[in-house]
Structure 1
Amino acid sequence: MFRIAPTPKVLPSELLDRAAKIEPATVGHLQNHGFPLGLRPVTKANRFVGTALTVRLSAMDGSALHYAADLVEPGHVVVVEMGHDRERACVGAMVCFALSLRGAAGVVIDGMATDIAELEDTGVPIFARGLSPVTTRLLGNDGDVNLPVNVAGAIVRPGDLVIADPNGVVFVHPSAFDEMYDHLFEFQDAEPQARIDLRSGVKLTDKFGAGELVRRSAIYLDQ
Protein backbone atom coordinates (compact mmCIF):
# COMPACT_ATOMS: atom_id res chain seq x y z
CA MET A 1 0.00 0.00 0.00
CA PHE A 2 1.17 3.52 -0.76
CA ARG A 3 0.27 6.51 1.38
CA ILE A 4 0.42 9.87 -0.37
CA ALA A 5 -0.04 13.17 1.49
CA PRO A 6 -0.13 16.71 0.09
CA THR A 7 3.16 18.13 -1.14
CA PRO A 8 4.53 20.90 1.09
CA LYS A 9 4.87 24.36 -0.35
CA VAL A 10 8.41 25.60 -0.80
CA LEU A 11 9.43 27.82 2.10
CA PRO A 12 9.55 31.59 1.51
CA SER A 13 12.65 32.87 -0.25
CA GLU A 14 13.31 35.32 2.59
CA LEU A 15 13.61 32.47 5.09
CA LEU A 16 15.76 30.41 2.72
CA ASP A 17 18.06 33.38 2.13
CA ARG A 18 18.60 33.69 5.87
CA ALA A 19 19.13 29.95 6.23
CA ALA A 20 21.81 30.03 3.53
CA LYS A 21 23.91 32.20 5.87
CA ILE A 22 23.83 29.59 8.64
CA GLU A 23 25.97 26.45 8.89
CA PRO A 24 24.59 23.17 10.27
CA ALA A 25 27.37 23.21 12.86
CA THR A 26 26.08 26.56 14.14
CA VAL A 27 22.63 25.05 14.62
CA GLY A 28 24.38 22.27 16.54
CA HIS A 29 25.32 24.75 19.25
CA LEU A 30 21.64 25.38 20.01
CA GLN A 31 19.78 22.24 18.89
CA ASN A 32 20.56 18.59 19.62
CA HIS A 33 18.05 16.94 17.31
CA GLY A 34 17.50 16.95 13.55
CA PHE A 35 20.97 15.77 12.57
CA PRO A 36 21.12 12.60 10.41
CA LEU A 37 24.49 11.32 11.55
CA GLY A 38 26.49 9.13 9.20
CA LEU A 39 25.43 10.88 5.99
CA ARG A 40 27.95 12.77 3.90
CA PRO A 41 28.10 14.52 0.53
CA VAL A 42 28.85 12.06 -2.26
CA THR A 43 28.94 14.80 -4.92
CA LYS A 44 31.25 17.80 -5.21
CA ALA A 45 28.17 20.02 -4.90
CA ASN A 46 27.73 19.93 -1.12
CA ARG A 47 25.86 23.02 0.02
CA PHE A 48 22.15 23.78 -0.18
CA VAL A 49 19.09 24.96 1.68
CA GLY A 50 15.56 23.94 0.83
CA THR A 51 12.21 22.49 1.85
CA ALA A 52 11.86 18.82 2.76
CA LEU A 53 9.76 16.60 0.51
CA THR A 54 9.82 13.23 2.24
CA VAL A 55 9.76 9.69 0.90
CA ARG A 56 9.77 6.33 2.68
CA LEU A 57 10.81 3.30 0.69
CA SER A 58 9.99 -0.26 1.63
CA ALA A 59 12.48 -3.09 1.23
CA MET A 60 13.92 -2.92 -2.29
CA ASP A 61 10.98 -1.03 -3.83
CA GLY A 62 11.83 2.38 -5.28
CA SER A 63 8.38 3.08 -6.73
CA ALA A 64 7.47 5.78 -4.18
CA LEU A 65 10.57 7.79 -5.06
CA HIS A 66 9.73 7.74 -8.77
CA TYR A 67 6.23 8.97 -7.90
CA ALA A 68 7.60 11.69 -5.63
CA ALA A 69 10.01 12.91 -8.30
CA ASP A 70 7.05 14.18 -10.35
CA LEU A 71 5.86 16.25 -7.37
CA VAL A 72 9.10 18.15 -6.86
CA GLU A 73 9.05 21.90 -7.32
CA PRO A 74 12.12 24.19 -7.46
CA GLY A 75 13.58 24.41 -3.97
CA HIS A 76 12.40 21.04 -2.67
CA VAL A 77 14.92 18.72 -1.05
CA VAL A 78 14.03 15.07 -1.53
CA VAL A 79 14.60 13.26 1.78
CA VAL A 80 14.52 9.47 1.60
CA GLU A 81 14.13 6.92 4.39
CA MET A 82 15.28 3.44 3.36
CA GLY A 83 14.77 1.60 6.63
CA HIS A 84 17.74 -0.63 7.37
CA ASP A 85 18.83 -1.00 3.74
CA ARG A 86 22.54 -0.18 3.59
CA GLU A 87 23.17 -1.95 0.28
CA ARG A 88 20.84 -0.63 -2.40
CA ALA A 89 20.97 2.71 -4.16
CA CYS A 90 17.64 4.43 -4.72
CA VAL A 91 19.01 7.45 -6.60
CA GLY A 92 20.99 7.03 -9.80
CA ALA A 93 21.39 8.65 -13.18
CA MET A 94 17.76 8.80 -14.31
CA VAL A 95 16.15 9.69 -10.98
CA CYS A 96 18.70 12.44 -10.37
CA PHE A 97 18.33 13.76 -13.90
CA ALA A 98 14.55 13.93 -13.45
CA LEU A 99 15.01 15.73 -10.12
CA SER A 100 17.38 18.22 -11.70
CA LEU A 101 14.81 19.05 -14.37
CA ARG A 102 12.25 19.66 -11.64
CA GLY A 103 14.59 22.06 -9.80
CA ALA A 104 15.41 19.96 -6.74
CA ALA A 105 17.73 21.83 -4.38
CA GLY A 106 19.27 18.61 -3.08
CA VAL A 107 18.76 14.99 -2.08
CA VAL A 108 19.31 13.38 1.33
CA ILE A 109 19.27 9.57 1.46
CA ASP A 110 19.51 7.33 4.51
CA GLY A 111 21.03 4.77 2.17
CA MET A 112 23.10 4.63 -0.97
CA ALA A 113 23.37 6.39 -4.33
CA THR A 114 24.89 5.26 -7.61
CA ASP A 115 26.09 6.49 -11.02
CA ILE A 116 28.36 9.11 -9.50
CA ALA A 117 29.54 10.59 -12.81
CA GLU A 118 25.96 11.23 -13.90
CA LEU A 119 25.05 12.61 -10.47
CA GLU A 120 27.91 15.09 -10.76
CA ASP A 121 26.74 16.14 -14.21
CA THR A 122 23.32 17.19 -12.90
CA GLY A 123 24.80 19.51 -10.29
CA VAL A 124 22.26 18.36 -7.70
CA PRO A 125 23.92 17.96 -4.29
CA ILE A 126 23.51 14.41 -2.96
CA PHE A 127 24.05 13.39 0.66
CA ALA A 128 24.00 9.66 1.38
CA ARG A 129 25.77 6.91 3.28
CA GLY A 130 27.87 6.13 0.24
CA LEU A 131 27.79 4.62 -3.24
CA SER A 132 26.65 1.19 -4.37
CA PRO A 133 26.12 -0.58 -7.71
CA VAL A 134 23.17 -2.51 -6.27
CA THR A 135 19.86 -0.74 -6.87
CA THR A 136 16.22 -0.71 -5.84
CA ARG A 137 13.51 -2.06 -8.17
CA LEU A 138 10.11 -0.83 -9.31
CA LEU A 139 7.86 -3.34 -7.56
CA GLY A 140 4.76 -1.31 -6.65
CA ASN A 141 4.57 -2.83 -3.17
CA ASP A 142 4.69 -0.16 -0.53
CA GLY A 143 5.92 3.32 0.41
CA ASP A 144 5.03 6.79 1.69
CA VAL A 145 5.25 10.24 0.12
CA ASN A 146 5.07 13.43 2.21
CA LEU A 147 4.66 11.80 5.60
CA PRO A 148 7.15 12.03 8.50
CA VAL A 149 10.25 9.89 8.03
CA ASN A 150 13.16 8.74 10.15
CA VAL A 151 16.43 9.53 8.40
CA ALA A 152 19.50 8.26 10.24
CA GLY A 153 17.83 8.96 13.56
CA ALA A 154 16.44 12.38 12.63
CA ILE A 155 12.67 12.76 12.40
CA VAL A 156 11.87 14.81 9.29
CA ARG A 157 8.47 16.27 8.50
CA PRO A 158 7.33 17.48 5.10
CA GLY A 159 8.02 21.19 4.89
CA ASP A 160 10.95 21.18 7.31
CA LEU A 161 13.84 23.49 6.54
CA VAL A 162 16.94 21.61 5.34
CA ILE A 163 20.43 23.09 5.63
CA ALA A 164 23.48 21.21 4.33
CA ASP A 165 27.18 21.87 3.93
CA PRO A 166 30.32 19.67 3.92
CA ASN A 167 29.96 19.06 7.68
CA GLY A 168 26.53 17.47 7.30
CA VAL A 169 22.79 18.10 7.27
CA VAL A 170 20.30 19.49 9.75
CA PHE A 171 16.51 19.52 9.62
CA VAL A 172 14.78 22.39 11.43
CA HIS A 173 11.13 23.30 11.80
CA PRO A 174 10.69 26.71 10.11
CA SER A 175 9.19 28.35 13.19
CA ALA A 176 12.03 27.03 15.35
CA PHE A 177 14.54 28.46 12.88
CA ASP A 178 12.84 31.85 13.09
CA GLU A 179 13.07 31.74 16.88
CA MET A 180 16.75 30.78 16.82
CA TYR A 181 17.91 32.89 13.91
CA ASP A 182 19.12 35.97 15.80
CA HIS A 183 21.15 33.78 18.17
CA LEU A 184 22.49 31.70 15.30
CA PHE A 185 23.56 34.73 13.32
CA GLU A 186 25.16 36.40 16.35
CA PHE A 187 26.99 33.21 17.25
CA GLN A 188 28.33 32.72 13.76
CA ASP A 189 29.06 36.41 13.20
CA ALA A 190 31.18 36.51 16.37
CA GLU A 191 33.76 34.02 15.11
CA PRO A 192 35.89 36.40 13.00
CA GLN A 193 36.37 38.76 15.97
CA ALA A 194 37.10 35.81 18.23
CA ARG A 195 39.94 34.76 15.93
CA ILE A 196 41.36 38.27 16.05
CA ASP A 197 41.20 38.27 19.85
CA LEU A 198 42.91 34.87 20.12
CA ARG A 199 45.68 36.00 17.80
CA SER A 200 46.21 39.03 20.01
CA GLY A 201 46.81 36.81 23.01
CA VAL A 202 43.40 36.42 24.61
CA LYS A 203 43.08 32.97 26.14
CA LEU A 204 40.41 30.60 24.83
CA THR A 205 39.13 30.04 28.36
CA ASP A 206 38.71 33.76 28.94
CA LYS A 207 37.16 34.45 25.53
CA PHE A 208 34.33 31.96 25.90
CA GLY A 209 34.09 31.65 29.68
CA ALA A 210 35.18 28.05 30.23
CA GLY A 211 37.91 29.13 32.61
CA GLU A 212 35.49 30.53 35.14
CA LEU A 213 33.18 27.52 34.80
CA VAL A 214 36.02 25.11 35.51
CA ARG A 215 37.52 27.15 38.35
CA ARG A 216 34.21 27.20 40.22
CA SER A 217 34.47 23.50 41.03
CA ALA A 218 38.04 22.57 40.20
CA ILE A 219 40.28 20.59 42.52
CA TYR A 220 43.95 21.17 41.68
CA LEU A 221 46.08 18.14 42.40
CA ASP A 222 49.72 18.25 43.30
CA GLN A 223 51.92 16.26 40.95
Structure 2
Amino acid sequence: MIINEKVQNTNLTEELRERFERVEPATIGHNLHYGFMDPTVKSMLQDVKVVGTAFTVRTSVNDSTMVHKAVSMAGEGDVIVIDRTGDVKHACVGEMVAYAANVRKVVGIIIDGPCTDIQAIREIGIPVFATGLSPITTKLYGQSGEINTIIQCGGVTVKPGDVIVADDNGVLVMGQEVNYEEVLAKAEESEAREPHTKKRLDSGELLADITKAGSLVDSYFSLK
Protein backbone atom coordinates (compact mmCIF):
# COMPACT_ATOMS: atom_id res chain seq x y z
CA MET A 1 0.00 0.00 0.00
CA ILE A 2 1.11 3.56 -0.72
CA ILE A 3 -0.41 6.66 0.85
CA ASN A 4 0.89 10.12 -0.04
CA GLU A 5 -0.26 13.49 1.23
CA LYS A 6 -2.70 15.58 -0.77
CA VAL A 7 -1.07 17.66 -3.52
CA GLN A 8 -2.07 21.33 -3.67
CA ASN A 9 -2.45 23.02 -7.03
CA THR A 10 -1.43 26.61 -6.34
CA ASN A 11 -1.94 27.55 -10.00
CA LEU A 12 -5.71 27.06 -9.74
CA THR A 13 -6.84 30.30 -8.12
CA GLU A 14 -10.43 30.89 -7.03
CA GLU A 15 -10.88 33.26 -9.96
CA LEU A 16 -9.74 30.60 -12.44
CA ARG A 17 -11.94 28.00 -10.77
CA GLU A 18 -14.98 30.25 -11.18
CA ARG A 19 -14.14 30.86 -14.84
CA PHE A 20 -13.82 27.11 -15.46
CA GLU A 21 -17.28 26.74 -13.91
CA ARG A 22 -18.68 28.91 -16.71
CA VAL A 23 -17.13 27.11 -19.71
CA GLU A 24 -17.84 23.65 -21.06
CA PRO A 25 -15.21 20.94 -21.56
CA ALA A 26 -16.54 20.61 -25.12
CA THR A 27 -15.71 24.26 -25.78
CA ILE A 28 -12.20 23.78 -24.42
CA GLY A 29 -11.96 20.79 -26.76
CA HIS A 30 -12.02 23.12 -29.77
CA ASN A 31 -8.45 24.11 -28.92
CA LEU A 32 -7.10 21.50 -26.51
CA HIS A 33 -6.77 18.03 -27.99
CA TYR A 34 -5.51 15.91 -25.11
CA GLY A 35 -6.51 15.16 -21.52
CA PHE A 36 -10.07 14.09 -22.34
CA MET A 37 -11.18 10.80 -20.79
CA ASP A 38 -12.74 8.09 -22.91
CA PRO A 39 -16.51 8.64 -23.37
CA THR A 40 -17.17 5.37 -21.54
CA VAL A 41 -16.52 7.36 -18.34
CA LYS A 42 -19.75 9.32 -18.20
CA SER A 43 -21.92 11.19 -15.74
CA MET A 44 -24.35 9.06 -13.75
CA LEU A 45 -26.47 12.18 -13.03
CA GLN A 46 -27.90 14.86 -15.29
CA ASP A 47 -27.05 18.56 -15.48
CA VAL A 48 -23.84 18.40 -13.46
CA LYS A 49 -20.66 20.48 -13.52
CA VAL A 50 -17.47 19.64 -11.65
CA VAL A 51 -14.36 21.77 -11.26
CA GLY A 52 -11.74 20.70 -8.75
CA THR A 53 -8.35 19.10 -8.17
CA ALA A 54 -7.59 15.42 -8.52
CA PHE A 55 -7.26 13.27 -5.40
CA THR A 56 -6.11 10.01 -6.96
CA VAL A 57 -6.75 6.43 -5.88
CA ARG A 58 -5.68 3.08 -7.34
CA THR A 59 -7.48 -0.07 -6.24
CA SER A 60 -7.22 -3.76 -7.05
CA VAL A 61 -10.07 -5.75 -8.54
CA ASN A 62 -12.22 -6.29 -5.45
CA ASP A 63 -10.47 -4.46 -2.59
CA SER A 64 -11.88 -0.96 -1.93
CA THR A 65 -10.05 -0.31 1.34
CA MET A 66 -8.14 2.59 -0.18
CA VAL A 67 -11.33 4.18 -1.51
CA HIS A 68 -12.69 4.39 2.05
CA LYS A 69 -9.35 5.82 3.22
CA ALA A 70 -9.26 8.34 0.39
CA VAL A 71 -12.77 9.58 1.13
CA SER A 72 -11.66 10.10 4.72
CA MET A 73 -8.62 12.14 3.59
CA ALA A 74 -10.10 14.20 0.72
CA GLY A 75 -11.82 17.50 1.36
CA GLU A 76 -13.47 20.56 -0.09
CA GLY A 77 -12.71 21.15 -3.75
CA ASP A 78 -11.25 17.69 -4.35
CA VAL A 79 -12.34 15.31 -7.10
CA ILE A 80 -11.68 11.69 -6.18
CA VAL A 81 -10.38 9.92 -9.30
CA ILE A 82 -10.23 6.12 -9.08
CA ASP A 83 -8.09 3.82 -11.22
CA ARG A 84 -9.77 0.39 -11.19
CA THR A 85 -6.75 -1.29 -12.85
CA GLY A 86 -8.90 -2.71 -15.61
CA ASP A 87 -11.78 -4.11 -13.56
CA VAL A 88 -15.20 -3.38 -15.07
CA LYS A 89 -17.27 -5.71 -12.90
CA HIS A 90 -16.99 -4.65 -9.25
CA ALA A 91 -18.43 -1.35 -8.00
CA CYS A 92 -16.14 0.41 -5.52
CA VAL A 93 -18.46 3.40 -4.97
CA GLY A 94 -21.98 3.16 -3.63
CA GLU A 95 -24.27 4.96 -1.22
CA MET A 96 -21.97 5.16 1.82
CA VAL A 97 -18.86 6.25 -0.10
CA ALA A 98 -20.89 8.88 -1.98
CA TYR A 99 -22.49 10.08 1.24
CA ALA A 100 -19.15 10.31 3.05
CA ALA A 101 -17.61 12.21 0.12
CA ASN A 102 -20.52 14.64 0.08
CA VAL A 103 -20.17 15.28 3.82
CA ARG A 104 -16.47 16.08 3.28
CA LYS A 105 -17.45 18.55 0.49
CA VAL A 106 -15.74 16.54 -2.22
CA VAL A 107 -17.07 17.97 -5.47
CA GLY A 108 -17.12 14.78 -7.53
CA ILE A 109 -16.05 11.17 -7.95
CA ILE A 110 -14.68 9.72 -11.19
CA ILE A 111 -14.27 5.97 -11.61
CA ASP A 112 -12.68 3.96 -14.40
CA GLY A 113 -15.26 1.26 -13.68
CA PRO A 114 -18.84 0.91 -12.44
CA CYS A 115 -20.63 2.32 -9.41
CA THR A 116 -23.72 1.08 -7.60
CA ASP A 117 -26.67 2.35 -5.51
CA ILE A 118 -27.58 4.83 -8.24
CA GLN A 119 -30.91 5.76 -6.65
CA ALA A 120 -29.14 6.79 -3.44
CA ILE A 121 -26.43 8.64 -5.37
CA ARG A 122 -29.16 10.63 -7.12
CA GLU A 123 -30.67 11.55 -3.76
CA ILE A 124 -27.28 12.56 -2.35
CA GLY A 125 -26.61 14.63 -5.45
CA ILE A 126 -22.84 14.30 -5.63
CA PRO A 127 -21.66 14.06 -9.25
CA VAL A 128 -20.36 10.57 -10.00
CA PHE A 129 -18.77 9.63 -13.32
CA ALA A 130 -18.40 5.93 -14.09
CA THR A 131 -18.45 3.41 -16.91
CA GLY A 132 -21.82 2.09 -15.79
CA LEU A 133 -23.60 0.31 -12.96
CA SER A 134 -23.02 -3.01 -11.21
CA PRO A 135 -24.62 -4.80 -8.26
CA ILE A 136 -21.34 -6.63 -7.53
CA THR A 137 -19.41 -4.67 -4.91
CA THR A 138 -15.83 -4.60 -3.73
CA LYS A 139 -14.85 -5.70 -0.24
CA LEU A 140 -12.55 -4.42 2.53
CA TYR A 141 -9.53 -6.71 2.42
CA GLY A 142 -6.77 -4.20 3.19
CA GLN A 143 -4.35 -5.87 0.82
CA SER A 144 -3.41 -3.31 -1.80
CA GLY A 145 -4.00 0.15 -3.22
CA GLU A 146 -2.47 3.60 -3.60
CA ILE A 147 -3.48 7.13 -2.71
CA ASN A 148 -2.13 10.27 -4.40
CA THR A 149 0.10 8.53 -6.93
CA ILE A 150 0.05 8.89 -10.71
CA ILE A 151 -2.81 6.81 -12.11
CA GLN A 152 -4.69 6.04 -15.32
CA CYS A 153 -8.39 6.77 -15.64
CA GLY A 154 -10.43 6.72 -18.82
CA GLY A 155 -7.28 6.39 -20.91
CA VAL A 156 -5.72 9.52 -19.40
CA THR A 157 -2.79 9.87 -17.02
CA VAL A 158 -3.96 11.68 -13.87
CA LYS A 159 -1.54 13.20 -11.38
CA PRO A 160 -2.48 14.33 -7.88
CA GLY A 161 -3.48 17.99 -8.00
CA ASP A 162 -4.41 18.02 -11.70
CA VAL A 163 -7.38 20.20 -12.58
CA ILE A 164 -10.56 18.28 -13.40
CA VAL A 165 -13.32 19.92 -15.44
CA ALA A 166 -16.30 17.65 -16.09
CA ASP A 167 -19.94 17.85 -17.08
CA ASP A 168 -22.56 15.70 -18.80
CA ASN A 169 -20.43 15.70 -21.97
CA GLY A 170 -17.32 14.18 -20.39
CA VAL A 171 -14.21 14.61 -18.28
CA LEU A 172 -11.13 16.76 -18.94
CA VAL A 173 -7.84 16.47 -17.02
CA MET A 174 -5.29 19.30 -17.08
CA GLY A 175 -1.90 19.08 -15.40
CA GLN A 176 -0.28 21.88 -13.46
CA GLU A 177 2.00 22.55 -16.44
CA VAL A 178 -1.02 23.72 -18.51
CA ASN A 179 -1.51 27.44 -18.91
CA TYR A 180 -5.05 27.68 -17.50
CA GLU A 181 -5.38 31.36 -18.38
CA GLU A 182 -4.63 30.65 -22.02
CA VAL A 183 -7.04 27.70 -22.14
CA LEU A 184 -9.81 29.78 -20.57
CA ALA A 185 -9.22 32.80 -22.81
CA LYS A 186 -9.67 30.71 -25.95
CA ALA A 187 -12.76 28.95 -24.58
CA GLU A 188 -14.36 32.19 -23.41
CA GLU A 189 -13.69 33.80 -26.79
CA SER A 190 -15.31 30.84 -28.54
CA GLU A 191 -18.40 30.91 -26.34
CA ALA A 192 -18.71 34.68 -26.74
CA ARG A 193 -18.97 34.21 -30.53
CA GLU A 194 -21.80 31.71 -30.33
CA PRO A 195 -24.74 34.16 -29.95
CA HIS A 196 -23.48 36.15 -32.95
CA THR A 197 -23.12 32.97 -35.01
CA LYS A 198 -26.69 31.98 -34.16
CA LYS A 199 -27.94 35.38 -35.31
CA ARG A 200 -26.13 34.95 -38.62
CA LEU A 201 -27.70 31.52 -39.05
CA ASP A 202 -31.13 32.93 -38.22
CA SER A 203 -30.62 35.59 -40.88
CA GLY A 204 -30.09 32.92 -43.53
CA GLU A 205 -26.30 32.51 -43.70
CA LEU A 206 -25.00 28.97 -44.12
CA LEU A 207 -22.89 27.32 -41.43
CA ALA A 208 -20.34 26.18 -44.02
CA ASP A 209 -19.87 29.80 -45.12
CA ILE A 210 -19.52 31.11 -41.57
CA THR A 211 -16.99 28.48 -40.53
CA LYS A 212 -15.19 28.47 -43.91
CA ALA A 213 -15.88 24.75 -44.24
CA GLY A 214 -17.26 25.44 -47.69
CA SER A 215 -13.96 26.94 -48.83
CA LEU A 216 -12.08 23.91 -47.52
CA VAL A 217 -14.35 21.57 -49.46
CA ASP A 218 -13.94 23.65 -52.63
CA SER A 219 -10.16 23.63 -52.23
CA TYR A 220 -10.19 19.86 -51.84
CA PHE A 221 -12.13 19.28 -55.06
CA SER A 222 -10.09 21.89 -56.95
CA LEU A 223 -7.01 19.72 -56.39
CA LYS A 224 -8.64 16.65 -57.90
Please confirm whether the aligned pair reaches a TM-score higher than 0.5, indicating the same fold. yes
Q: CA RMSD in A?
A: 1.7
What is the one-letter code of the residue matched to 1:23?
E
Report how far residue 121 of structure 1 moved: 2.0
For residue 216 of structure 1, report the CA deviation from its aligned partner.
2.2
Partner Cα separation in structure 2 for residue 146 and residue 45 of structure 1? 29
Match of 2:112 in 1: 110
Distance 1:44 1:203 in 2: 32
Q: Deviations over 1:7-66 (max 9, x none)?
A: 023643211101011111112111222111111111245222111111111121111111
Q: Quote the residue 1:80 is aligned against.
A: 82
Q: Is the 8 A contact 1:45 1:126 kept in 2?
A: no
The TM-score, its normalising length taken from structure 1, stands at 0.93
Give, in angstroms, the shift of residue 219 of structure 1. Answer: 4.1
The answer on 1:136 being equivalent to 2:138 is: yes
C-alpha deviations, 1:60-83, integer Å up to 9, x for none? 111111111111111101011101
* Other-structure match for 1:70: 72
SS for the counterpart of 1:89 is coil
2:210 aligned residue (190, 207, 212): 207
Instruction: State the one-letter code of the partner of 1:209.
Output: K
Indicate which of 43, 46, 51 corresponds to 2:45: 43
1:9 maps onto 2:12 in alignment: no
Give the secondary structure class of the aligned counterpart of 2:55: strand
Q: Which amino acid aligns with 2:32?
A: Q
* Aligned equivalent of 1:163: 165
Match of residue 30 from structure 1 = 31
Matching residue within 162, 173, 180 for 1:177: 180
SS at match of 1:117: helix
1:90 aligns to what? Answer: 92
* 1:197 equivalenced with 2:200 (yes/no): yes
CA distance in 1: counterparts of 2:145 and 2:179, whole angstroms: 29
How many residue pairs are counted as aligned between the two chains?
A: 220
* C-alpha contact (below 8 Å) 2:44/2:128 kept by paired residues: yes
Unaligned ranges ≥5, structure 2:
none
The match for 1:188 is 191
**What stretches of structure 1 of length at least 5 have no aligned partner?**
none
Check if 1:100 corresponds to 2:102: yes
- Contact 1:56/1:81 (<8 A) preserved: yes
State the one-letter code of the partner of 2:219: R
* Amino acid in structure 1 at the alignment position of 2:63: D
